[in-house]
Structure 1
Amino acid sequence: MKGKEVKNGLEPKKERIILTATKIFSAKGYFSTSVQEIAEECSMSKASLYKLFPSKEDLFIEVFEYHQNILFDKVASISFASHYSPRELLIKQISTQIEVFLEQRNFITMQLKEIPLSGNNKLKKMMRQLKTRIVGWQRNVLIEAYGEEIKPYSWDLTVTVQGLLKEYITVADQYKEWDGNEMATYIVDRLDYIKTDLLQTKPKPLFSEEEMENLLSPSPTLCTKDHVDILLSRIKIVIDSMNPSDNKEHLEQSFDMLIKELETEDPKVFLLDVLLHYFMKEEQLKSTATKLRSLLVGGEKWNI
């Protein structure tokens, strides 16, 4: 975007507001925080803030998305490191999840305590979408680590991981400073035993595909190919028109990886999500990449 420095897909002013809101939300809670005090802390008028964020709900939603994207940025860089074995990659991804949670502990604790999931459709929808994203990512990570044979039990393992993480992180946060890699390794060691037992004894899964289908992302094969091709072409045109100084080389490499993955017989949904999230950080590509992600990874249908 000409004349404006854009970082992490956000203009500096918008990012400053988000970081300020994070600090105040974390300290005072969602309901006790006013838009007025966020604006004053940012040395701007409430009217100016409302031009960027129409309501406190909208601001909170962008704050929540901003911090979740920090996690996905970090796991994206790990996922592209080819020197890790599948098991090592699983440990690194869980370790990163632990470290990001502990870094954001105050904000996460606040939203868990205060945000009502009934009677507020906008926040309820946001929490559902973001929860789906993190749980869907975790499931795909486990399938990548343990192979397709674990797929019938992938939701059971996902629920197990999320439960273990929640309890271990809660205890760690209260009583000691844990090393994220040590905790992740311990959890994966336990998962190895659970995985082996499941494959040997073959019990009926507690959480089947059908029961969890509301959390599953649609398969890329179900998307309208013509729509996908149109959006891919738009992204390619924008990248080709960019100056070398605009991160063009990295975007070209990521685009090639996206095309290569889409050409495989069974595209990895997690990898598609990571690549598209990277494009969404670029202001020029954000709208198109968001629509493409909706088709390939899941979400609302777009008219294009």
Structure 2
Amino acid sequence: MDVKRMQIMESAAQLFSKKGYEATSVQDVAEVCGMSKATLYKYFSSKQTLLIEVIEYNHQRMSQRTEELKEDDSLGALEALRQKVMILLEEFRENHYFIQLLFRSMPEKEGAQVRQLMDRGYRRMFLWHKQSLRDAFAITDETKMNDLVLLFQGLMKEYLFILSEKNEALSLPSIAAYITQVLQIAVENNEKLTHVLPEDWVTEGSTEDTVATLTREERIERLLREMKMRLQAAGRSQKADSLHILEAVEEECTRTHVRKPVVNALLPVLKEEQSIAAKAETLERLMITNL
């Protein structure tokens, strides 16, 4: 990823978490980055797009690190969960401003649009944690899953608060081991526990939903960035061709008049790449609609 783009996102995340989204202006972010507002707009078309990218980038980075554990056949289910918790703790400690942003209570004055983005980010994180617990404990009874995820997140959140706000020098391996042990005890005693949250409290629907308030151009820009991050994060040589094709699509989007034959030739190739197939289909609908 472009170094300057990374700097903007990290600076914005810190400002959003400290001052609040509404209280932070694009000018504030530009000044911290040592650039003009006009230059910043070359990287991000709006403050809302910047917020989305911050959330998406951090989620993608954490997901990629934990997904690598699945490729290690030597790890047992519980050890894989413990290491996943370790990775999350390390990422959150190093980027605690992102956690403050993600779990921050959004005041009414900050608007329904921003709260919708925060809700979406929280929902994605919740479903991701739920799948992690399914993998670790081979859970088939879904009736108590939501409460188990909430227990997991509550433990993580409180330890992260101590680490980031109290600056306590706690052992991350010890925290990860303790959280894993508590979850194991809860699962083993599942029959003795009563659940509080309904099974459909957080649904398993697609997490690829878009925010209706974004313009068509912003949605296209967002999809292109997300797809590029996924391909770059994969780090495998076979992704190189897909990345080149994606860059060609991105370049086509900068034209005054996008050429339909070119788009029709490029997008089907991207739809064959499993990691970005769903996003490629959405991108195709957005681009072809107005051609």
Q: Is the 8 A contact 1:71 1:97 kept in 2?
A: yes
| Residue 93 of structure 1: how far off its partner (Å) | 1.1
Cα 1:181–1:122 change in 2 (3 A) is same
1:136 maps to which of 127, 146, 165: 127
Match of 1:35 among 26, 43, 56: 26
Native 8 Å contact 1:143 1:151 kept in 2:
no
CA contact 2:21–2:110 (8 Å) conserved in 1? no
Q: Deviations over 1:201-228 (max 9, x none)?
A: 3x5532332x32x432359xxxxxxxxx
User: How far apart, in 2, do the equivalents of 1:43 and 1:247 lie?
Assistant: 31
Conservation of the 8 A alpha-carbon contact between 2:92 and 2:98:
no
Distance 1:153 1:301, change over 3 A: farther
- Please list, as runs of the form range in 1=range in 2, the aligned pairs for 1:285-300 lying within 5 A after superposition: 288=271, 290=276, 292=278
The answer (yes or no) to whether the contact 1:117–1:123 under 8 Å persists in 2 is no
Q: Aligned partners of 2:15 and 2:96: how far apart in 1? A: 14
Contact 1:24–1:38 at 8 Å: present in 2 too?
A: yes
Q: Do the aligned partners of 1:89 and 1:145 also contact (CA within 8 Å) in 2?
A: yes
**Cα contact 2:163–2:169 (8 A) shared by 1:** yes
Task: Report the alpha carbon displacement of residue 147 of structure 1 after superposing the two structures with TM.
Answer: 0.9
Query: Normalized against structure 2, the TM-score is what?
Result: 0.66
Query: Aligned pair in 2 of structure 1 residues 149, 31: CA closer, same or farther (>3 Å)?
Result: closer
Match of 2:115 among 124, 146, 166: 124
TM-score by length of 1: 0.64
Aligned match of 1:149: 140
Partner SS for 2:129: helix
> Once the 2 structures are TM-superposed, how far is the Cα of residue 86 of structure 1 from its aligned partner?
0.6
- Aligned length in residues: 235
Aligned 8 A contact 1:291 1:302 in 2: no
**Mapped contact 1:61–1:126 kept (Cα < 8 A):** yes
Matched, 1:249 2:237: yes
Higher relative contact order (CA 8 A, sep 6+): 1
Tell me, which stretches of 5 or more residues in structure 2 are unaligned?
208-233, 251-269
What is the CA RMSD across the aligned residues, in angstroms? 3.7
1:196 maps to 2:183: no
The CA deviation string for residues 110-138 of structure 1, in whole angstroms up to 9 with x for no partner, is: 56446436762332222122111111011
Gaps of 5+ in 1: 1-6, 220-245, 256-278
The 3-state SS of whatever aligns with 1:216 is coil
